[in-house]
Amino acid sequence: MKFPPYLLPGDKVVIISPAGNVDKEIAEHSAQILRNLGFIVEIGPNAFEQKGVFGGSDSMRAADMQRALNDKSVKAIFFSRGGYGSIRTHNLLNWSSFFKKPKWLIGFSDITVFHAFLSNHNIASMHGVMSAWFEKGGTLTDSFTEMVELLKGKTPGYTLPPHEQNRTGTASGILTGGNLSIIQSLRGTPLDISPKGKILFIEDIDEYHYHIDRMMYNLKTGGILKQISGVIVGYFTAISDRETAYGMSSAEIIREAVASYRYPVCFGFPAGHELPNRPLILGSRIVLNVSDNYVNIETL
């Protein structure tokens, strides 16, 4: 696995909008926060454009990202928000310059498209907060501060309390994943997950319970759940029922889907569409140790 160079004060970073349109005030404020930390910050020329739900046309969004991918002086690309549109942007990109000199790509939710692509090319990326969550109530969020520390080279490690749905055990593997809906939408494409030797992180928002079940059974039927080495479950936020209650919680649905396998499963990891949204280095090799009394995630 190849890791981009860690960030230093004075490094140049870029904020772009590859998916949904973003509030200009929020994105400009996030740029100033990064400048206050000593980074040179540019905002993509088209970052504040709008076309329907998108941050400008596909070609506009792709132009900003291509420019950032090609610029050898840029050390990191911060995405302003998710929403929808990253797959449309991705399909217009040429990654050849990036592969010669990788840089950090940072975001979550719809940004899972780019995380999936980089995972399949053995390049690490950062699952972390975007512009709206750099700060809350005038104070930098712990999620943002911790993410910056990881981007500077701090080794991540987490200790969590037990969860009633956890399955105990110890496993090591390469951390991969992101938003479950995006992971499922990429099945059968070149961005499909390569499961062998991976520990899968999943989170989601605003889905029906039966959708969660359907997506998990897609991964089960496709052999993904059989081949991975462990599962880390983040927030499943605003998951609801239709007219008839499904009868199971998100955690129960996931636990049932992996019931026939022996690897450890950790529920309640604080990452996804809520704060705190703790950063994860996708592509890092970790040890997942789930016991009756605690969960420990160590980066090797």
Q: Which amino acid is at 79?
A: F
DSSP reduced 3-state for 225? helix
In the block, residue with structure tokens 């239709």 = 242
Q: Which amino acid is at 211?
A: H
Domain ranges (residues) in the chain: 12-151, 157-299
pLDDT computed for residue 26 by the predictor? 96
Least Cα distance to 151 among 133, 131, 128 occurs for: 128
Confidence of residue 140 (pLDDT cuts 50, 70, 90): very high
Residue 147 main-chain phi, psi, to 5 deg: -60, -45
Q: Which two tokens stand for residue 230?
A: 């462990």
What Rg do the C-alpha atoms of the chain give, in angstroms?
Answer: 18
Mean pLDDT value across residues 72-77? 98
Other beta carbons less than 10 A from residue 159's beta carbon? 10
In the block, residue with structure tokens 């007219």 = 243
Residue 85 main-chain phi, psi, to 5 deg: 135, -10
Average pLDDT, the chain: 98
Q: Which two tokens stand for residue 29?
A: 């404020």
pLDDT computed for residue 290 by the predictor? 98
Mean pLDDT value across residues 176-180? 98
Query: What is the CATH number assigned to the segment(s) 157-299?
Result: 3.50.30.60
- What's the full length of the chain, in residues? 300
pTM over 0.75: yes
Largest CA-CA distance found in the chain, in angstroms, rounded = 56
d(CA 206, CA 79): 21
Q: Kindly report, residue by residue over 187-242, the tens digit of the pLDDT.
A: 999 999 999 999 999 999 999 999 999 999 999 999 999 999 999 999 999 999 99
Mean pLDDT value across residues 2-9? 98
pLDDT computed for residue 221 by the predictor? 98
Same fold, 12-151 and 157-299: no
Mean pLDDT value across residues 31-37? 98
Exposed, middle or buried, 240 (CB in 10 Å: 0-12/13-18/19+)? exposed
In the block, residue with structure tokens 């997950």 = 193
Mean pLDDT value across residues 174-199? 98
Least Cα distance to 213 among 276, 243, 255, 167 occurs for: 255
In the block, residue with structure tokens 């998916």 = 19
Confidence of residue 155 (pLDDT cuts 50, 70, 90): very high
Percent of the chain having pLDDT more than 90?
100
Beta strands in 142-246, from DSSP E residues, in sequence order: 157-160, 169-179, 198-205, 230-237
The superfamily in CATH containing domain 12-151 is Murein tetrapeptidase LD-carboxypeptidase, N-terminal domain (3.40.50.10740)
Q: Kindly report, residue by residue over 242-292, the tens digit of the pLDDT.
A: 999 999 999 999 999 999 999 999 999 999 999 999 999 999 999 999 999
pLDDT computed for residue 21 by the predictor? 96
Percent of the chain having pLDDT more than 70?
100
